[in-house]
Amino acid sequence: MERRFAEETGLGVARWRRRARLAGALEALARGDPPSRVATEFGYASASAFGARVKAELGHPPGALR
């Protein structure tokens, strides 16, 4: 099933799940929620872990995206 998922989406399940969670978090940032609240709401271990994930995926820290 995982191979089929990767064939269909171009992503492994874990990476797809991380991106889906990040997409939801970015929507919350766009609404104006503070990064610390977004990090907690979307299950990141800390605001800095959330910031690191955003920067790794998008090249900018969360504050620059608000």
Residue 30 lies in a domain: yes
CB atoms within 10 A of CB 19: 14
pTM above 0.85, yes or no: no
For residue 57 the two structure tokens come to 């995926």
pLDDT of res. 46: 93
In which domain, by residue range, is 43 found?
A: 22-66
40 assigned to some structural domain: yes
**Total domain count for the chain?**
1
pLDDT value at position 66?
Answer: 62
pLDDT tens-digit map of 28-58: 999 999 989 999 999 999 999 999 999 998 8
> How far apart are the C-alpha atoms of 54 and 42, rounded to whole Å?
13
Q: Looking at the predicted structure, is the pLDDT value of residue 65 above 80?
A: no
Q: Which pLDDT score is estimated for 62?
A: 84
14 within a domain of the structure (yes/no)? no
Amino acid 64: pLDDT: 79
Residue at 4 is within a domain: no
